[in-house]
Structure 1
Amino acid sequence: MLFILGISCIIALVVASGLTRRRVYPMPLPPGPHPLPFWGNALQLDAKRPWLTYTAWGKTYGKIIRSRLFGIDFIIINSETIAQELLEKRSANYSTRPILRTNELAGLAYNTVMLPYGETLRQHRKIFHQVLRAELSASYHEIYSRHANGLVINLLSATSDLLQKHTEAYSGSLIMAVTYGHLAQGQISFLTRAYELLNIGKRVITPENAAMFTAFPFLEKLPFWCLGGAFALMGRSRELCQQLLNEPFDEVKAQIADGTASHSLVTDFLSQPHDDADEDKMKAVVLTGYVGKTGMETLASTVQIFLLAMVLYPDVQARARAEIDQAVGHDRMPCLDDRASLPYLDAILYEVLRWYPPVPLGISHATLDDDVYDGHFIPKGATVMVNQWALSRDEDVFPDASRFDPNRHLTIDGKLKNPFVNHFAFGHGRRICPGRWFADNSLWTAAVTILAVLRIDHAKDSNGDRIEVKPEFTPGLTIARLKA
């Protein structure tokens, strides 16, 4: 109530001071719904699932549309072709990020994903490339398999309410093993706090929320508790960031000193000459990899969607298992070396990311300069979002798009049409996810291990009747966790 009252007062002040003048552009912006004074299109959005609103608007206004929130221009791309044209072919103009004050206020400015284009970003991505490039990501074979086996053991006795817990434990412990190694003193605490930070961050740093602070900068002078909701947790977010940046890193240092450190990205880094500035960058890169776009929640969410698809489409599950049986047999567990013989499984995972893209609006880009596309003006500083949900539901590209069908991604002779790491879910242009090979291998290993051991089916009630699955998804920056 205080929040609503506060916003009403803000609007009254803005009206009175005459700050409602719009910029005059030399050409028309992309089409979109008529914005209201001050609010723009904010009241017309589904606040919890804005990608659905943008997709619906795309059917009326076209493949590239304009939305305005509190005087800030948003350009929404609803087409893979346009995304390629702008973010790939004109990447020099579309590779920075919008300045999100919520990101800074929540203590998340370290995050590689949201860094503006420049030297710091290049240094971060260089580190990512050194530790998560394709050939090195494939070398973690034993770690992938060990954690996937643990996931299967947990799933054997899992009830629906524990599904989320077990998939999160898989993704979190796997990424921790690669980044920090074994943290004997603080692993459970670290995982708990990392998820707490992630849950705050995904609610706070959406472009729609950030627009409010950009339009009304004096909001950040107010106590966050009076803004209500997730904003009240910004202080806690800053505290968690400092803890998670420093504590696990310092523990690895202590392990190196007493000779108990296991092999990890951090131990490799600390074994080389470096200075304090390098340490700060490494801390940021490692924590970004842990809780970032391809970090623990995104991987856990994707595994959950895979399990959902296997329940709802038993014919797909049966075909995948038959492919594994034929290629590998029953004498051993499948591994990454078998991947070339299992194209249908790759097609399943490609379809998982298409069917429910884990970050439906991707990560926002921003324009460094004015641009023109198809007769429409895209102003400097505009926030540009690729609506991955709209891409996934484009009937011209994916007929009967709501249906889960891995065959979409196979050629007539049964080969995968496109490499998994080129999926639009990993982003576009110079900001494509640098951890995509790690995400690819860890997801594939989990899926093949599950299919080799388990038969995934509906749960039964006390009468032995099948319990129908009614998937629900938590809102936020990501589709996030499945509730079945």
Structure 2
Amino acid sequence: MVFPLNVLSLSAALLLVGVCYKLYTKLFAGKYPLPPGPKAQFLVGHYGIVPAEGPQFQYAKWSKELNTDILYFESFGTKWIVLNSLQASIDLLDKRGNNYSDRPRFIMNDLMGWAPTLTWLRWSPKMLQHRKLLQPPFSKSKVSQYCPLQRREAIKAAQSILRTNADPMAWNNAIRRFAVAVVINIGFGVEIEDDKSPFIKLADDAAMAISNAGAPASSIVDRFPATRFLPSSLPFMERKRYAETWRFAIQNITNIPFAATQSAMAAQRPRHCFAATRLAIHAANAEKGIPNDFSLDDIKGAAAAIYIAGNDTTQTTIALFVLYLMQHPPVHRKATAEIDGVVGKDRLPEFSDVPNLPYLNLVLHECYRMNPLSPLGIPHASVAEDVYRGMRIPAGTIVYQNVWAMTHDAAVYSRAFEFWPERYLSKEEGGAGEPFPVGNFGFGRRVCIGRNLAENSMFIMFAVLLATVEFGWPVGLGGGEEQYEVEWSFKGQAHPLPFKCRMAPRSEKAEVLLMNADLSF
């Protein structure tokens, strides 16, 4: 293949940058050493040594081999560290948050067409504006306003599961619809009536685009921004090709629901949702000649952040709940007994039951610990050079948090690869007195604003499922349970692929109670 002159020139320039940067760091680095890391390659540094799929496992392995909880990497001037312990993450991202609350520039996200969104915005007045927009309605004291919606959608999901229980794969669709229905209603006021809603397809496409895009800020265009100008047809530009292929999905999930909200408001069909509230304020200010602090793109991006914060986390954690309880019948029986003891069998669970379901709370946290959805978190970036434990962290360093390594740290969690919810109980209560996992929703000033909303969705869905549905391994050809290995994806996000599960009514009474439930709120 003959490459155009501009491609060859750019490649040569990148190589020259790498050489110059290497000389600079050798000659002018400070008196403090950089954190340890695996051996770099000549000129290209650590380029290409981190696996694209499941990098959290390799980072954890290097951490053990080098006996360090902080790993350092660099290539062509791009620097990144990986924090493999909770203590290092707290010390840097929480206690020194003023220096570690920035984000790297996510060029891959630019190529994929993201609007300004809190999740990805760098620390700036714009980012603080978005946080000011989103924090109040999703604080712990305010998310209760969404509880009736969440309970209704959980009941609808359980109804759908029982209507389609002849197909052991169909429950996956019901859980997906539940997760989408909650966040798209809160963000854009869109009602998801059934699995045939076009908004389900939008959400599916967006979830596919996000979950398989790789760890944030890890693509070639993120590490070497100049490469975004190279033709996507080049063999090493597969991430750019991916962005071009899936750009439509990101644009659709932000543009189409937002346009639907605008159309409903123009037709005087008011919607009670985040986007409609902000659009009404925007229009009122414009009519009065008052400058708006937020553009329409800001409102659209903020509403999209609600989708990001709630959809994937909720859907994946519910799938984990079903999977782990299917694999661990004693845990399933104990959680069901707790529901029966608190809720009884004459009504469906309410949010008022949540404080009285401590074992279910242990199960939720064990799902978090076993499989963090974003195993490397959303990366932070250092603002200024820093020294930590005698090691130098340069300014502009990308900072990943290996949450998977933290939640599987043998020094913290005994039987770390075993699903054991009782581990969080005291030793006197039969547990190990181990701490709840930390990091699934981020660290420091960039903690996910949707945590309270997502946890409410998970909890009510768990409770409704346990109260009304009996689930376990699917039935095989011989009439017995068909146990099998569930397949997983580790391309950026970590989650089980859709899997078969036998779903049936717990009893005739439970089925009647569920199917006749009042769905108004």
Provide the TM-score with structure 2 as the length reference. 0.84
**Deviation by residue 1:205-243 (Cα, 9 ceiling, x = unmatched):** 634643x22554442223334455452243354444444
Q: Distance in 1 between matches of 2:92 and 2:192?
A: 47
| Correspondence 1:2-401 to 2 at 5 A | 15=15, 19=19, 21-22=21-22, 23-24=25-26, 25-26=29-30, 27-61=32-66, 62-108=68-114, 110-156=116-162, 157-158=164-165, 159-182=167-190, 188-204=197-213, 206-207=215-216, 209-210=218-219, 212-214=220-222, 216-226=224-234, 229-272=238-281, 273-275=284-286, 277-290=294-307, 292=308, 294-401=309-416
For structure 1, the 5+ residue unaligned runs are: none
Q: Note closer, same or farther for the CA distance 1:146–1:38 as it changes in structure 2 (3 Å cut).
A: farther
Q: Note closer, same or farther for the CA distance 1:403–1:139 as it changes in structure 2 (3 Å cut).
A: same
> What displacement does 1:194 show?
3.4
> Which stretch shows the higher mean deviation, 397-406 or 60-69?
60-69
Q: Note closer, same or farther for the CA distance 1:50–1:103 as it changes in structure 2 (3 Å cut).
A: same
> Which stretch shows the higher mean deviation, 159-168 or 172-181?
159-168
Could you tell me whether the CA contact under 8 Å between 1:361 and 1:385 is conserved in 2? yes
**Deviation by residue 1:56-77 (Cα, 9 ceiling, x = unmatched):** 1111221111123444221111
Q: Distance in 2 between matches of 1:102 and 1:260?
A: 37
> Which stretch shows the higher mean deviation, 27-36 or 183-192?
183-192
**Deviation by residue 1:244-274 (Cα, 9 ceiling, x = unmatched):** 4333223223323434334222233334334
SS of residue matched to 1:113: coil
Could you tell me whether the CA contact under 8 Å between 2:221 and 2:240 is conserved in 1? no
For structure 2, the 5+ residue unaligned runs are: 287-291, 500-521
| Correspondence 1:398-417 to 2 at 5 A | 398-411=413-426, 412=428
Q: Note closer, same or farther for the CA distance 1:205–1:316 as it changes in structure 2 (3 Å cut).
A: closer
**Deviation by residue 1:282-302 (Cα, 9 ceiling, x = unmatched):** 211111211x2x331221111
Could you tell me whether the CA contact under 8 Å between 1:164 and 1:482 is conserved in 2? no
Q: Distance in 2 between matches of 1:416 and 1:341?
A: 22
SS of residue matched to 2:400: strand
Q: Confirm whether residue 434 of structure 1 aligns to residue 439 of structure 2.
A: no
Could you tell me whether the CA contact under 8 Å between 1:201 and 1:237 is conserved in 2? no
> Which stretch shows the higher mean deviation, 15-24 or 370-379?
15-24
Q: Distance in 2 between matches of 1:440 and 1:167?
A: 15
Q: Distance in 2 between matches of 1:190 and 1:78?
A: 38
Q: Note closer, same or farther for the CA distance 1:30–1:325 as it changes in structure 2 (3 Å cut).
A: same
> What displacement does 1:415 show?
12
Aligned residues: 478
- Greater helix fraction, Structure 1 or Structure 2: 1
Q: Note closer, same or farther for the CA distance 1:180–1:414 as it changes in structure 2 (3 Å cut).
A: farther
Q: Distance in 1 between matches of 2:488 and 2:2?
A: 28
Letter in 2 for 1:302: T
Letter in 2 for 1:284: G
SS of residue matched to 2:113: coil
Q: Distance in 2 between matches of 1:183 and 1:343?
A: 32
Q: Distance in 1 between matches of 2:82 and 2:233?
A: 32
Which residue is 1:446 aligned to?
461
> What displacement does 1:476 show?
2.2
Letter in 1 for 2:95: K
Could you tell me whether the CA contact under 8 Å between 1:367 and 1:379 is conserved in 2? yes
> Which stretch shows the higher mean deviation, 225-234 or 115-124?
225-234
> What displacement does 1:125 show?
1.0
SS of residue matched to 1:425: coil
SS of residue matched to 1:289: helix
Provide the TM-score with structure 1 as the length reference. 0.90
Q: Note closer, same or farther for the CA distance 1:318–1:185 as it changes in structure 2 (3 Å cut).
A: closer
Tell me how large the CA RMSD over aligned residues is: 3.1
> What displacement does 1:17 show?
7.8
Q: Distance in 2 between matches of 1:441 and 1:240?
A: 27
Q: Distance in 1 between matches of 2:147 and 2:482?
A: 36
Q: Which has the larger radius of gyration?
A: 2
SS of residue matched to 2:492: coil
Q: Distance in 1 between matches of 2:476 and 2:168?
A: 12
Q: Note closer, same or farther for the CA distance 1:338–1:362 as it changes in structure 2 (3 Å cut).
A: same
Q: Distance in 2 between matches of 1:234 and 1:191?
A: 21
Letter in 2 for 1:90: R
Q: Note closer, same or farther for the CA distance 1:250–1:387 as it changes in structure 2 (3 Å cut).
A: same
> What displacement does 1:408 show?
2.1
> What displacement does 1:178 show?
1.6
Letter in 1 for 2:263: A
Letter in 2 for 1:105: L
Letter in 1 for 2:105: I
Q: Distance in 2 between matches of 1:416 and 1:104?
A: 46
Identity %: 28
